[in-house]
Amino acid sequence: MVIAAFVIFCSTNYTAYGLSCAPPKSAIEEFSKSEYVFKGKALSKSSKNSIDGKLVVFQVEQVWKGPISERIELYESDIWLEFVEGQDYLIYASDELDGKLRGNLCGRTQLWENAKGDAAAFQKEGTLIQVSGGGTAREGWGSGILAVIVVTGLAAAWRFGARRKN
């Protein structure tokens, strides 16, 4: 009986992960679970390490998900990646229960040069790209649609008014 259990135990092929990350999720899966997804340049990093980790300030260049802001502060502690000032990154992050923004543990946060495929996947899925400082891509469409509605409304009112006079 013990020998049979040992043979069964040894013949099963399960991968166990200790102090490393499981295989990464796809870009779309990581996007879905994140509250923030943005491209940013690491501007500064606190020199002291607190219990929350080092605070990194990013100049935001593009936002795919989350609020539009010119700068975002992120704690480095939960990411197994050390940010380097002056480098561009694609960040996947979420607010923690303590209200602090942190990168997703074992997520796909990485240097921008290595992450361009992720951004292409967002665009392929039809995800809205928002650019800091310039509003959102949707605002341009919204203005055009609003203009069409106003012009159509004015034309309808003019035409309706012209019919009433006849």
Q: Where are the domains of the chain?
A: 21-134, 136-166
Look at the block and give the residue holding tokens 């796909």.
108
Residues lower than pLDDT 50 in the chain: 5-7, 17, 134-144, 146
Q: Which fold has domain 21-134?
A: OB fold (Dihydrolipoamide Acetyltransferase, E2P) (2.40.50)
pTM listed for this prediction: 0.63
The string of pLDDT tens digits covering residues 101-124 is 888 878 889 999 999 889 888 877
